[in-house]
Structure 1
Amino acid sequence: MELNVTGAKPMKVSEVVFGAEFREHLIHQVVVAYQAGGRSGTKAQKTRSEVNGTTKKSKRQKGGGARHGALTAPIFVGGGVTFAAKPRSFEQKVNRKMYRGALRSIVAELNRQERFKVVEDFGLESAKTKAMAAKLAELDVSGRVLLVSESATEDLYMAARNIPYVHVVDVAALNPVSLVGADYVVATVESVKKLEEWLA
């Protein structure tokens, strides 16, 4: 199949990547797993052995009511927690084949909806926001725009960073969450070739 390239002749791409079936359940699973992997899991409580307190017997064994030892026990205010929560990983296992399949499905659906645009290059001579805004207007894209480059240069990043909802990534940093959240994806020819090589 062919992809239209703005200002140049169409480029041939793999039907496997850019014509893949839309698999909503797979995309959902991969997106949820990707977001879960970013959770820090920092909740932590102390057990009775970790609470900072004396281990001296709180009162005599007999004659004072209920018998008890240290005040760090869970039944006392300020004591430890019985089943204390500890930091944990929220990571979910996703096979490489599933991950790439989800990316193929997202890219193909963006292409079908004409939200995936290809340019020869971004044509920025310097890091000027005005030039980037003019380029986006020329491409007729708005909203949340993801700019994909084969290697995101500092000039490209600096030119785009002051434009709201415009983000720059290179192919290696491409992920399902950024693709799903974008209204438009604008990629260079070289980045499309790299993406095709990665996902084919």
Structure 2
Amino acid sequence: MFHPSAELRFVNAQVGHGVFATRRIPRGTIVWVRCALDIELTPEAVVALGPAYQHIVPHYGYPEANGHWIICWDNGRYLSHSCEPTCLKPGFDLQIALRDIEEGEQFTYDYGALNPDPADEPFRCLCGAPGCRGRVTAEDAERLAPDWDARLAAAFPDVLGVEQPLWPFVRDPAAVEACARGEQPLPSCRLHFRPPAQSRFSSSMP
């Protein structure tokens, strides 16, 4: 479920649609939570959908570490890539704002953290950020994970000090609160990474 103070807007012909803030979103705000309305598909279920769906699922969904595909039911599926993302996901099923997101600014994520398929051609990046990598590859995740974890750890204490309209949908609020208070380490974003050898629609089971 995506933050209620967000709306879908057309960006351009190359990017398509993106998600934009309708008010200022402070750092530490939970901007997305995986909820009961999101669709989860096993690799076998994706294959069973037939050839016509094989490009739709990876376009609108993303694979988790277990190989299951998650397709957001709302604006979350339109989140655009940036090499300087405004939000990221720690080792919880939620995303937080890494910095203040101003009214009218786009919510962005780093697609390198969404398990790109090693068999695919690198994704050409057009984000225009000062630190743009130029392309997104399956190798980005492990290389960039320490920086992502550091940025998440810096912003996470703010989770308890800002308005959180998505809090009722957080699956493990006690653990999230404990991490925000510094009582336990924040789980790494690596918990969501798929094994490198796992292909797009292969099962993670032996």
TM-score normalised by structure 2 residue count = 0.22
Bigger helix fraction: 1
User: Rg: which structure is higher?
Assistant: 1
Higher RCO, Cα 8 Å, sep 6+: 2
